[in-house]
Structure 1
Amino acid sequence: MTATANERLSAVTAAAVVFADTFESGLTAEHVAPSLTCAEVDALSAVLAETGHREAAARWIAAHGGQDDEECDTHHEVDPDEYVATWLIS
């Protein structure tokens, strides 16, 4: 049996919610975010923000941004809340 588009969307949404609930922890962000690339932390933060964890998304950006010490780095001296708000879909 092939899943319908709605069933797949439902499954992906459920998986995203579980992912976000798991990675919303500030302690995890502090330990992991500095080792991620800018693109990786943006992707993770996008899932967090779009599943209702906007504060956690900003926390991940802030925890990662502390290691971006070059002006050319994406998260160098950005306001995490404003940064997350610029690419939110909802």
Structure 2
Amino acid sequence: MDQQLAHALADELVELTRSLADLAYDLGSDSDTLRRHMVSIQSVDRITQAQLAIADILRSDAPVAARIDGVTLETLADRLRERVAGNA
């Protein structure tokens, strides 16, 4: 993938992540909404973490294995390893 495109996509992911995180914060600020939708709001947090990890991968020029090893979300790293290996 072209490096400029990869960086542009990473920037877009970061912007989307900020918007999603702001939305989750707004929803979580209301105690009734937080109680009713705690699991969903936590899911939004996992999604934002994954988006930032993907943005980091897109920006990196390290070998693929090293990029994936840098992902701190274990389930995401495992899925990426499987997909890169052609098992998914």
Same fold (TM over 0.5): no
TM-score, normalised relative to structure 1 = 0.35
- Is the radius of gyration larger for structure 1 or structure 2? 2
TM-score, normalised relative to structure 2 = 0.35
* Higher-helix-fraction structure: 2
Question: Whose relative contact order is higher, 1 or 2, with alpha carbons under 8 Å and at least 6 apart?
Answer: 2
